[in-house]
Structure 1
Amino acid sequence: MRTCFYKNFKAANYRNTMKQLSRLLLLLLLTVPSYAFSQNLAQRKADIDALKISIITTKAELTPDEGKAFWPVYNEYEAEKNSIKRERRQKAQEARANIDNLSDKDIDDLLQNDFMLRQRELDIDKKYFEKFKKVLPLKKVAKVYAAEDQFKRELLKRLRDQGD
């Protein structure tokens, strides 16, 4: 009788251990790809940032001293702009998902809010234009804006080429 109990206990223990191992394996299989994806995403963002810095530095012909003064201001500028862009994108996604269920007043409110956010973006552009002029000659500020446009075109081109 003791051996029968021991066999049942051993078999039950084995099943529990296998269930736990299966769950652990499943958890690992689910988390590893998401970790790899986030690593890949972080690497892609770093590559894009490096491309942007390279294009702006080259096209605006920034000296090392100008770069030291310019990049901290530019990084603040981008952080403020990106915050508003995220908010605009989120609200636009919500609106697209619910557009048929919204009243005219809700739609008007959404559009008015979008106009307000775009105005805030413009205000940020104006504010940082003044800050850029304090750290760079005006011609180089103009070259920075032109370089930003070139960066956007280059990024779109690379994304298109990647899709082919």
Structure 2
Amino acid sequence: MKIKNILPILLFLVSFSFYAQGEKTDEKREKIKAYKVSFLTTELELTSSEAEKFWPIYNAFDDKQYELRHEKMKTYLRKLNDDNISSVSEKEACTLLSQIESTDKELFVLKEKYMANLKKVLSAKKILKLKKSEDDFNRKLLKQYKEKAGKN
């Protein structure tokens, strides 16, 4: 598996563990979000006109993606953790699998709409730069998390 495929899963698990920590989660999420905005703003070199159109699109996508990944997936993971896979009936497993597939489809449709909206305000080159910058940010965040975890 490529790192590009593993990274979102790791970030999901990291953010999921943040979620389990209660109210501190929202504070951490806001700090990470602010850090990400600063990082992307620097990396993308958006004009004021581009930034004015880009950030509402980006924030709406980011919020909806977070909701899908963390609110819905959290329910699935809790079910698997609470009941343990071996004690889940085949019918329950099929239902859970169907729910996961449905959420994956929602994420796919969301990403398609996001890309279509981005193409209206940014050049293809800047969209690619955004993707690279997001990957760089995620690697940097994961590295910081690993360093922090290593100190504890």
Aligned residue number for residue 17 of structure 1: none
Q: CA deviation at 1:110?
A: 0.8
Pick from 68, 78, 97: which aligns with 2:52? Answer: 68
| Whole-angstrom CA distance in 2 between matches of 1:41 and 1:114 | 24
Identity rate of aligned residues, in percent?
A: 28
- Shift of the 87–42 alpha-carbon distance from structure 1 to 2, 3 Å rule, reads closer
Pick from 43, 52, 72: which aligns with 1:87? Answer: 72
| Whole-angstrom CA distance in 1 between matches of 2:116 and 2:58 | 12
Is 1:50 aligned with 2:25? Answer: no
Gaps spanning 5+ residues in structure 2: where? 1-21
| Whole-angstrom CA distance in 1 between matches of 2:73 and 2:80 | 10
Q: CA RMSD in A?
A: 1.7
Normalization by structure 1: what TM-score?
A: 0.70
Output one character per residue of 1:75-103: Cα deviation in whole Å (capped at 9) or x when no partner. Answer: 11112111111211221221222123211
- Shift of the 150–106 alpha-carbon distance from structure 1 to 2, 3 Å rule, reads same
Gaps spanning 5+ residues in structure 1: where? 1-36
Alignment of 1:1-164 (within 5 A): 38=23, 41-85=25-69, 86-98=71-83, 99-163=85-149, 164=151
1:95·1:110 contact (CA, 8 Å) conserved in 2?
Answer: no
Q: CA deviation at 1:53?
A: 0.7
Normalization by structure 2: what TM-score?
A: 0.75
